[in-house]
Amino acid sequence: MMNENENIQDQELNQFEENVENTGAEAEDLNQKLAESNDRYARLVAEFDNYKKRTSKEKIELMQSAGKDVIIKLLPVMDDFDRALNHMKNVSNEDPIKQGVELVNTKFRKTMEQLGVKEMDVIGQPFDPEYQEAITMIPAPTPDLKDKVIDVTEKGYLLNDNVIRFAKVVIGQ
């Protein structure tokens, strides 16, 4: 009887040990699956956060340059105002036509500034191909103007600190 009880106890002990081993393997497998799920979750959260940041940045850029195409088409109008005012230098300041042109020019330029358009000031500055396009090179009138902008044939403009039209310049050599 003792032998039979010992056999039963041994069988139960062996079965218990197998269950413990299986439970340990299952627990390890579950822990591995949990770690994989946590990793996927963390990556998904990071990817979504990057998506939100990217779309927010794109939205801001879109708002900043919303009217870029229209503004670029209005730049020749600014050039025309400059030419008109240049031709009217000899006209009396009391001339109503000159006053009207100056008034419209001032309002137009203020509106463009409010939209983020800035005129580049390049005369006397060193040549910078990031902002200027060299049309020609001429002998520098003075040594200090060598490799610097001497004249501007077409003004350059920035929209929110991004070049929308390069300044076309003459450089001293």
Condensed to tens digits (0 to 9), the pLDDT of residues 102-126 reads 999 999 999 999 988 999 999 999 9
Condensed to tens digits (0 to 9), the pLDDT of residues 150-159 reads 999 999 999 9
Average pLDDT over residues 126-132: 94
Confidence class of residue 20 from pLDDT cuts 50, 70 and 90?
A: low
Q: Please report the pLDDT score of residue 2 as a whole number.
A: 56
Q: Please report the pLDDT score of residue 149 as a whole number.
A: 94
Q: Please report the pLDDT score of residue 28 as a whole number.
A: 84
pTM (two decimals): 0.63
**pLDDT of 1 above 60:** no
Any idea where the domains of the chain sit in the sequence? 1-64, 68-172
Right CATH for 68-172 from 3.40.50.970, 3.90.580.10, 1.10.10.60, 2.30.22.10: 2.30.22.10
Q: Please report the pLDDT score of residue 59 as a whole number.
A: 87
**pLDDT of 3 above 90:** no
Condensed to tens digits (0 to 9), the pLDDT of residues 38-82 reads 999 999 999 999 999 999 998 887 876 678 888 999 999 999 999
Confidence class of residue 85 from pLDDT cuts 50, 70 and 90?
A: very high
Average pLDDT over residues 123-135: 93
Q: Please report the pLDDT score of residue 63 as a whole number.
A: 76
Cβ contact 105:86 at 8 Å: no
DSSP per residue, the chain: -HHHHHHHHHHHHHHHHHHHHHHHHHHHHHHHHHHHHHHHHHHHHHHHHHHHHHHHHHHHHHHHTTTHHHHHHHHHHHHHHHHHHHHTTTS-TT-HHHHHHHHHHHHHHHHHHHTTEEE---TTSBP-TTTEEEEEEE--SSGGGBTBEEEEEE--EEETTEEEEPEEEEEE-
